[in-house]
Amino acid sequence: MKVAAVLDVAPNKDLYLNRELGVLAFNRRVLAMAEDESVPLLERLKYLCIVSSNMDEFFEIRVSGLQEQIRQNPDFRDKDGLSALETLHRVSAVSQEIVELQYRLFNDSVLPAMREQGIALMTLATWNEEQAHWARQYFRNEVLPVLTPIGLDPAHPFPRVLNKSLNFAVELTGHDAFGRASNVAIVQAPRALPRLIRMPSNLSGYEHGFVMLTSILQAFIPELFPGMEVHGVYQFRVTRNSDLYVDEEEITNLRVALQGELSQRHFGDAVRLEVSDQTSPDMTARLLKEFGLPEQALYRVNGPVNLVRLMQLPDWVDRPDLKFTPFTPGLPDALAKQSDIFKAIQKGDVLLHHPYQSFSPVLEFIKRAATDPEVVAIKQTIYRTGTESVLMESLLAAARSGKEVTVVLELMARFDEEANINWASKLERVGAHVVYGVVGQKTHAKMLMVVRREKTETGKVVLRRYVHLGTGNYHPKTARLYTDFGLFSCDEALGQDVHEVFNHLTGLGRARKLNKIWNSPFNLHSNVVQSVRKEAELARAGKKCRIMARMNALLEPHLINELYAASQAGVKIDLIVRGVCALRPGVAGLSDNITVRSVVGRLLEHSRVFYFSNDGEEEVFISSADWMDRNFFRRVELAVPITDKKLKKRVIDEGLKALLADNILAWVMDAQGNYTRKKPTGARRVNSQVYLLSSLSTNFSGQNEPTSTSLP
């Protein structure tokens, strides 16, 4: 089996939408959750923080990529027909609009509503004399000892500013102790300092009063410059290119090469400058010049330059009435009735739908495998798992006990590289086999295999493979926030397939055809294309046909063209795309039969599900892959068929139909890439996430949620 070839298409603005603008459109939908007054108040604050975090990554990766494209190949045009420079101009304009709205919501809506509920952010302008005294004492005792002011002069050039760090530019006049007359100084806020500080309630006048470090520094930085006149103190923050470049054709040791790059990630080229809106024009011009940025890279904000730092505030406030209703993830009957997970899987495949259903069976599965004397080998892929992981600790314990442990660990998992390198070192120290997949092909597949020695009914001893295959990472924290499917099975054909894929990753030799699983970079793309074409043929023959698919992104142009052709043949196609979608739905004569919707709610929609009617013989797959070039051609991905009838129905109902019925959280996209939020008609109100929480989890009342009913 050969690696699939990447398929090029000619740029065509009539067929494809712009990727970067699609990412921004998703962030605008997230921001709409902060606008929605039916969303609990502290959750609205969280959405504002999430948008800031998303925009940070957008500039670090996507905007920096545009800048690199402008430098290296300015004439190149993407699939939508736009050059990188044209895209950058459009992106800058939309980003400014998003940031302006974000801070307007923060200042004019969320903060006043929080104060009414006894939760206040005590800004410098609101301090009374007692509060100012408390803040000054905090500054002198907790902050001042670790600050290092840097006056700019020939001996003190502009300091290196870390990516996304909090800094202050100070305008001043006068002469210092050495007679120097510098008029600019820089003060960097050490990362060790907390960005949010609780003010005693007897001083704040609120049950929950907080002060941001920015306010304290803004007020008292002048004390660092005795005898000089301070004219202005301005906060600023620089976002830098954070994509790592490793020449995979030249390196001999990926881990060593990556470690060398990680140390420089914080000092990549600047791509964005954020300043407080009070910053003087002279200082703004000075900062833009220092970082080599044009005016369009400047973002003036009315408030803290990093709202992400407020993400912890809701956790510090015990107000359940201002947060989403808590829930306890449920268990499928197969596991609730059988405490031995291996015996439960022997009786039939087990489907988990996270976070509505618990991730703990996955942790229990690996924990049990690590201590079970009958288990002889464990193999697992790791893409993201976090700096602390019960699952990884179980793998370490298994290796220490002498089991064969093999971990295919993806070192190039963006922003998790350092954590994965550390886990690799720990695993190797206890004797586990650690490999980094295939150079040039990220291992994004989510698979776990346990090989167990068991006796059959006839007394014969055999090795049985148990597998877990999923759409999400082996990360217990995100498993509480991301929607994903996971499948447990001891099906012999599936086990053989997973065994083969592990051999592809760790060994050498040609890839053999798998029994059931579709995998990239070999046949996932071609099989999806063939399934789309088959639905088109069924439509032309007047037979049952339909395509439903759910993913995080849809960008691969060849597949988009196939979907257009199927639509023209009469196939009804419903696409649920959380983020960016390059396909234009509803274009007369091109995509009349295609709908695209995005669901944005309290949980991050992360599942990938593919459905093909196949004349009533319904084919359903759960997958680790989005429909993007990289997932089809530059990554190791899996699409796993769901063959059990009951489980297949569950995936269709829970993973597709529930979201297609949603008229509370769903947004419908038009041919120009604009989204309109669905509105309930009559009494029928469907919030898919609340419906699934009510159906699958336990102890969930739904009282704080944006409206819900059962599905029709």
Domains parsed from the chain with CATH numbers? 19-37+41-322 (3.30.1840.10), 333-518 (3.30.870.10), 534-696 (3.30.870.10)
pLDDT of the residue at 158: 87
pLDDT of the residue at 472: 92
The pLDDT tens digits of the residues spanning 35-76 come to 999 999 999 999 999 999 999 999 998 999 999 999 999 999
Q: Which residues contribute to the annotated binding site?
A: 54, 384, 414, 482, 578, 606
Q: Which one of 390-399, 417-426, 489-498 scores highest in mean pLDDT?
A: 489-498
**Interatomic CA distance for residues 65 and 241, integer angstroms:** 8
Which pair of structure tokens corresponds to residue 607?
A: 């599942």
Q: Which helix (H) or strand (E) holds 215?
A: helix 213-220
Pairing of strands 619-623, 609-612: antiparallel
Which residue out of 208, 444, 475, 525 is catalytically annotated? 444
pLDDT: which is higher, 574 or 705: 574
Helices 390-400 & 360-371, crossing angle to 10 degrees?
Answer: 10
Position 589, amino acid: G
Position 221, amino acid: I
pLDDT: which is higher, 225 or 265: 225
Mean pLDDT to the nearest integer, 112-133: 96
pLDDT of the residue at 178: 67
Q: Which residues contribute to the annotated binding site for ATP?
A: 54, 482, 578, 606
* Cα torsion angle, 366, 370, 371, 372, sign: positive
Map tokens 């990926």 to a residue: 254
The pLDDT tens digits of the residues spanning 628-677 come to 999 999 999 999 999 999 999 999 999 999 999 999 999 999 999 999 99
pLDDT of the residue at 93: 97
Mean pLDDT to the nearest integer, 451-466: 89
* Cα torsion angle, 443, 448, 453, 455, sign: negative
**Interatomic CA distance for residues 41 and 291, integer angstroms:** 37
Map tokens 């969320």 to a residue: 110
pTM (2 d.p.): 0.92
Mean pLDDT to the nearest integer, 366-370: 95
User: What is the CB-side half-sphere exposure of residue 417 using CA atoms within 13 A?
Assistant: 20
Mean pLDDT to the nearest integer, 13-24: 96
Q: What's the burial of 591, exposed, middle or buried (CB within 10 Å: 0-12/13-18/19+)?
A: buried
Residue 159 pLDDT exceeds 70? yes
Pairing of strands 404-409, 119-121: unpaired
Residue 250 pLDDT exceeds 50? no
**Interatomic CA distance for residues 596 and 549, integer angstroms:** 10
The pLDDT tens digits of the residues spanning 484-526 come to 999 999 999 999 999 999 998 888 777 788 999 999 999 999 9
pLDDT of the residue at 174: 85
**Interatomic CA distance for residues 685 and 678, integer angstroms:** 10
Spell out the alpha helix ranges (H) of 653-709: 658-661, 688-696
Q: Which residues contribute to the annotated binding site for Mg(2+)?
A: 384, 414
Residue 294 pLDDT exceeds 70? yes
Radius of gyration for the alpha carbons in the chain, expressed in angstroms and rounded = 27
Do 644 and 574 meet the contact criterion of CB atoms below 8 Å apart?
Answer: no
pLDDT of the residue at 31: 97
Smallest Cα–Cα separation from 360: which of 393, 399, 395, 329? 329
Residue 311 pLDDT exceeds 60? yes
Pairing of strands 404-409, 375-382: parallel
Map tokens 């900062």 to a residue: 287
266 catalytic, yes or no?
no
The pLDDT tens digits of the residues spanning 179-233 come to 666 789 999 999 889 999 999 999 999 999 999 999 999 999 999 999 889 999 9
The pLDDT tens digits of the residues spanning 541-558 come to 999 999 999 999 999 999
Does the bond joining 355 to the residue before it have cis omega, within 30 degrees of 0?
A: yes
pLDDT: which is higher, 615 or 438: 615
**Interatomic CA distance for residues 610 and 656, integer angstroms:** 9
**Interatomic CA distance for residues 118 and 209, integer angstroms:** 8
